[in-house]
Chains A and B, each alone.
Chain A
Amino acid sequence: MNRLSFWSSLPFAVLIVFTAPLLIVLSSLFGDYSENWSHLYEFVLFNYISNSLILVAGVGVLVFFLGTITAWTVTNFNFPGRNTFEWALILPLAIPPYILAYTFTGLFDPYGDANNLIREILGLDQDVIIFPSVRNIYGAITVFGFTLYPYVYLVSRSAFINQSKSMIEASRMLGLNQIQVFYKLALPIIRPAAVGGMMLVIMETLSDFGAVDHFAIETFTTGIFRTWYGLYDLQTAMQLASLLLITVGVFYILEKNSRGNGIYTSSNSTFSPNKEEVLSGFRAFFAFSICLLPIFIGFILPILELSLWAFEVNIAFFNEKFFKNSINTFTLSIGTGLICAGLALLINFSLRFKPTKLIKRLSSLLSIGYAVPGLILAVGMVQLMVGLDNLIFSNLDIVLTGSIFGLLVAYIIKTYALANSSIESGYERISNSIDDSSRILGSTSWVMLFNIHTPLMKTALLTSVLLVMSDVVKELPATLILRPFNFETLAVSTYIYASEERMLQAAAPAIAIVLVGLIPIIFLSKMIRSSRPATEK
């Protein structure tokens, strides 16, 4: 089986290169510890940790409920607007959390647009403030919750669709009402999937700097940057980032173990869909509201505010530069999406047959790359690229550093977790017996991968490409220092304005990000619409 050993060593080689920047970050732990550590420990570290914990717990609970309740509602009930909600519920994925944060303060600050509007409508005095302040940890929880819940929604929805009706029918016959069915039966069954989605949300929340910085909350990540920018101590900042990485890694592995090793592969052939209940009157309105709320807060509201801003200043934005930036953004995102999905497929494939410990560890390291703040990753990335340049061009020139290649690798490390999550769950649905039969029939590993797994995984592959794309469109800090000269993406222009809180100017490129980000989302939505079992149509 020479081929197989080649097959399992290829992803291994790729993984080593791709995880090197993370290893460079982690290697800071073996360096010197500066006196800043005692300062951090004495005055701020506790604050950083407790705020991050509160944030992650709050966001985790919020996305769990938002994601599972909406998924349950659209898969089990029929009510006006259901078919639209089914795909529209993922729209907030196109809004980067920091953009929602900026629009939130624009709306809900004491003299923000929402307060002004209500004061005007009700004829109230200028000093009457209606909305509570959002510049606090609750505001941040709301922002992350409403932009990231679709990760939970997506997995929960497909899990609910695959739940068989007989179980639900039995429980209804035993006298459980719909709500009881939801939390006594449906939730426990989809919990592993939903927790996987939550894990993605938590990693993205931890790595974020923009939104928490805007709300002036001291989290672990703002602490990392304060240590770097303010204390001029990159070494300690990298050590802090490593601790974050290790913590996330431990949780990631715990979560993987709690899910078991994919023995619960079930075959779709005996699937019989759950019969949905038609709602009317108040109950239909209630279901409608439940689905509208997250879309309203996570998508409609920020779009409205951004449009207001964009119209207030007349800047010629949709010019040649805009198209160039859009093309850059789109090309990068599709490139990253394809590579990530391919890589995830190969790695999961080789894990299915030869789950060597090293590949397992490296591949989970690649997944937790999602939790590393982008600029810290970029620091590791620059070091790797310079190292490779020295190796290849022996100190004569730098070619890879500041090239698109470096950018791509950074994006892949940052978003691999997204690709992996959907490929992994795709593989969980391919029964092991398929592999066994094909092997008995004499298929080589190549044949199995390309002729059997790939067609079965079409949806999972496409989903992983699209999820990665929508994230790359939004992701920015990594691009800032890794990019080649004069190379701009949409996120860069937005960030440049937004970092100076010139929101009126930032609005047009921000809308552009949302528009470009919508392209993969629309494809994803289409898939969602057509992914209902045929019997229901």
Chain B
Amino acid sequence: MKKIYILLLLSFFGNSILTSEVNVYTSRHYDSDDALYAEFTRETGIAVNIISGKGSALLQRLKSEGKNSPADIFFTVDAGNLWKVQKEGLFQSIKSKKVLTVVPENLRGPNDEWTAIAKRARVIFYNPRNVSKDLIKDINYEDLANPEWNKKIVIRSSNNMYNQSLVASLIDNLGEANTEKWAKSVVNNLARKPQGNDRSQIIAVANGEADLAVANSYYIGIMLSGSAGQEQLEAAKKVNMIFPNQSNRGAHINISGAGILKNSPNTNNANLFLEFLLSKRVQKYMVDKSYEYPIHEDVVPSKEIAGFGINFKEDQISVKNFGELNPAAVRLMDRSGWK
């Protein structure tokens, strides 16, 4: 009998030792995140254990591990993945009052099963020397299909998840048939075969290879910061950024987001971790390093990004919709010949 007590006691202490950690599966890779995690440990004494990898692959590991998974937090830059994890029933509702008061409802998952941590807009870049601002100040994503942009647009491949969610949001707003017509015209308007990342699209516009580029907002911040080298800094200075659809539904927004897993062994720590990420000070630190937009409304974006405008109108469509429509978007792009 004594042995059992000792075992119980041991397992109790064993657990309490284990509760001083939080296990994070993440597909977000920023050097600055490492510093953040270290700061969290310094403040709370809770160790942060990380496995980083592709979102879809991490989801697969989660699924296979089932109820024995050590993971507490799933953190990703692809909203579609949050939706997938939720659909598999792997998340629990976030109960933290702090989190729920900071994050507006449209940036949380159904039943509060996940929350945005930072957001980014998919916007249009142009070179003011080649395109007058007046011509495009009211531009909509829909206008990219217009014949006036024939052979003048650059955008990356349809393998990219940001393009997939943009098209998914268009399906949600315009319907599948209209979006397909749009996609076919955009493909005709391309200045070159889709290639490279978002930054090479911005560079192409800076060099005059094309008039308009579609890319995520934070890239211009990275380029302007100079951390990506002199050449990208020069290119970034030549271009301007414009938020589409400002006179109607608003610019397309995607998120970095996280949720607490249903079988999380350290739920309290996981809540603390999310609260930490959404605290004012950490939000400011994050957006200054990642050039994303903050979720906390009292925080201003980094100075590199803020210059392009802070109070732009955001498409309020719930992020969960792009998850749901992502496969339809990919099939649609296949049909339209979007490489």
| A residues lining the B interface (CB < 8 Å) | 36, 39, 43-44, 105, 109-111, 126-127, 135, 213, 215-216, 218, 222, 225-226, 228-234, 309, 312-313, 375, 378-379, 382-383, 385-386, 389, 395-398, 401-402, 477, 480-486, 492, 496-497, 499-502, 504-505
Contact between chains at B52 and A496 (CB < 8 Å): yes
What B residues does A378 contact at CB under 8 A? 57
- In this assembly, does B195 line the interface, its C-beta being within 8 Å of a C-beta of chain A? yes
| Residues A226 and B195 in contact in the complex (CB < 8 Å), given A402-B70, A481-B57, A502-B228 | no
What A residues does B237 contact at CB under 8 A? none
Interface residues of B in 71-116 (CB under 8 A from A): 80, 84
CA distance in complex: A113, B48 (Å): 40
CA distance in complex: A422, B229 (Å): 44
| Residues A375 and B229 in contact in the complex (CB < 8 Å), given A135-B195, A395-B68, A398-B70 | no
B181 CB to closest chain A CB (Å) equals: 17
CA distance in complex: A481, B54 (Å): 8
Contact between chains at A504 and B68 (CB < 8 Å): no
| Residues A230 and B330 in contact in the complex (CB < 8 Å), given A216-B195, A218-B339 | yes
Which chain A residue lies CB-closest to B160? A230
- In this assembly, does B175 line the interface, its C-beta being within 8 Å of a C-beta of chain A? no
Which chain B residue lies CB-closest to A233? B327
- In this assembly, does B173 line the interface, its C-beta being within 8 Å of a C-beta of chain A? no
B58-66, B130-138, B269-277: which lies at the A interface?
B58-66
Which chain B residue lies CB-closest to A44? B334
**Residue from A229, A385, A499 having most chain B Cβ neighbours under 10 A:** A229
- In this assembly, does B159 line the interface, its C-beta being within 8 Å of a C-beta of chain A? yes
Contact between chains at B339 and A402 (CB < 8 Å): no
Contact between chains at B50 and A485 (CB < 8 Å): yes
CA distance in complex: A311, B329 (Å): 41
Contact of B60 among A234, A483, A484 (CB under 8 A): A234
CA distance in complex: A254, B74 (Å): 45
Residue tally, chain B, CB below 8 Å to A: 51
B205 CB to closest chain A CB (Å) equals: 12
What B residues does A477 contact at CB under 8 A? 54
- In this assembly, does B120 line the interface, its C-beta being within 8 Å of a C-beta of chain A? no
Contact of A230 among B53, B164, B195, B200 (CB under 8 A): B164
Contact between chains at A386 and B60 (CB < 8 Å): no
What B residues does A500 contact at CB under 8 A? 29, 197
What B residues does A213 contact at CB under 8 A? 159
Contact between chains at B57 and A480 (CB < 8 Å): yes
CA distance in complex: A126, B238 (Å): 15
- In this assembly, does B56 line the interface, its C-beta being within 8 Å of a C-beta of chain A? yes
Q: Contacts A111-B231, A482-B61 given; 14 further ones with Cβ under 8 A?
A: A43-B331, A111-B207, A127-B208, A216-B196, A216-B339, A218-B339, A230-B326, A401-B64, A402-B61, A480-B52, A486-B49, A492-B52, A496-B52, A504-B227
What B residues does A396 contact at CB under 8 A? 68
- In this assembly, does B161 line the interface, its C-beta being within 8 Å of a C-beta of chain A? yes
- In this assembly, does B143 line the interface, its C-beta being within 8 Å of a C-beta of chain A? no
Contact of A398 among B53, B68, B80, B230 (CB under 8 A): B68
CA distance in complex: A226, B164 (Å): 11
CA distance in complex: A225, B330 (Å): 12
A470 CB to closest chain B CB (Å) equals: 23
CA distance in complex: A218, B338 (Å): 11
Give the 9 A-B CB pairs with smallest separation, nearest first. Answer: A480-B53, A485-B49, A230-B330, A496-B29, A501-B197, A481-B57, A481-B53, A398-B68, A43-B334
- In this assembly, does B194 line the interface, its C-beta being within 8 Å of a C-beta of chain A? yes
Contact between chains at B331 and A110 (CB < 8 Å): no
What A residues does B68 contact at CB under 8 A? 389, 395-398, 401
What B residues does A226 contact at CB under 8 A? 159, 330
B226 CB to closest chain A CB (Å) equals: 9
A219 CB to closest chain B CB (Å) equals: 12
CA distance in complex: A401, B193 (Å): 42
CA distance in complex: A135, B196 (Å): 9
- In this assembly, does B172 line the interface, its C-beta being within 8 Å of a C-beta of chain A? no
A115 CB to closest chain B CB (Å) equals: 11
- In this assembly, does B142 line the interface, its C-beta being within 8 Å of a C-beta of chain A? no
Contact between chains at B29 and A481 (CB < 8 Å): no
- In this assembly, does B236 line the interface, its C-beta being within 8 Å of a C-beta of chain A? no
- In this assembly, does B69 line the interface, its C-beta being within 8 Å of a C-beta of chain A? yes
B222 CB to closest chain A CB (Å) equals: 8
A505 CB to closest chain B CB (Å) equals: 8
What A residues does B161 contact at CB under 8 A? 229-230
Which chain B residue lies CB-closest to A482? B61
Contact of B54 among A110, A229, A382, A385 (CB under 8 A): A229
What A residues does B56 contact at CB under 8 A? 228-229, 232, 234
Contact of A232 among B51, B52, B326 (CB under 8 A): B326
Which chain B residue lies CB-closest to A501? B197
Contact between chains at B334 and A39 (CB < 8 Å): yes
Contact between chains at A501 and B196 (CB < 8 Å): yes
